[in-house]
Amino acid sequence: MSVSPRPGPPPGPRPGPPPQSWSGDDADAVGHPAVDAVVQAMANAANLAPADQIAQFEAAYQTLRETLATIDQA
């Protein structure tokens, strides 16, 4: 017996608020370039397909781990 995969969401814009434009001068900026870039990447990932979001989350996690490691060494 074979099971066919379940269909995913239809292509096109995703529901929810539009992505926010990120500028380093924004009040939400934390002041660390690597962390600010990760936050921007997470905002941009909202428009990606779920499978592509996973890759963005993994890259963000790795960047944050490396950033924290360098801070701990200082």
Residue-wise pLDDT tens digits, 16-72? 555 555 554 555 556 788 888 899 989 988 888 988 899 999 999 999 999 988 877
Residue 45 CA to chain centroid, in angstroms?
4
The helix-helix angle for 33-45 and 50-73 (nearest 10°) equals 170
The DSSP secondary structure of the chain, one letter per residue, reads ---PPPP-PPSSPPSSSPPPP--TTSTT--S-HHHHHHHHHHHHHTTS-HHHHHHHHHHHHHHHHHHHHHHHH-
How much is the pTM? 0.54
